[in-house]
Amino acid sequence: MIFYPVVFALLVTMALAIVRAVKGPSLYDRVLAVNMFGTKTVLFLAVASYLMGRPDFLDLALAYALINSIGVMAVLQFFQSREFRRRYEHRHEAE
């Protein structure tokens, strides 16, 4: 029973993050929401593995904690290359 409050809180927060991700308005808001959603997922997985009595499944939470960062880096790289492309296209249009 001791896990229910935190589980509820996590679930609600996940929902809130999704609302933010859907609403935007900017791309960065979405990234923020995704990142936040990711950390909540890690926590939820961790708590849930105790809730279900299988603490050995913390592996999942660990795996995701590690992988989450890659997604964010990829996003960052994406922004950077997009900036680059814009500049490039801009220069070509100017010519």
Residues 39-78 that bind other proteins (CB under 8 A): 39-78
Question: CA 39 to CA 67: how far, in whole Å?
Answer: 11
d(CA 8, CA 16): 12
Closest approach of other proteins to the CB of residue 95, in Å: 11
Q: How far is the CB of 76 from other proteins (least distance, A)?
A: 5
Minimum Å distance from CB 90 to other proteins? 11
Contacts of 38 (CB under 8 A, 6+ apart): 64, 68, 71
**Does residue number 90 form part of the binding site for other proteins (CB under 8 A)?**
no
Where in 23-42 is the site for other proteins (CB under 8 A)? 23-42
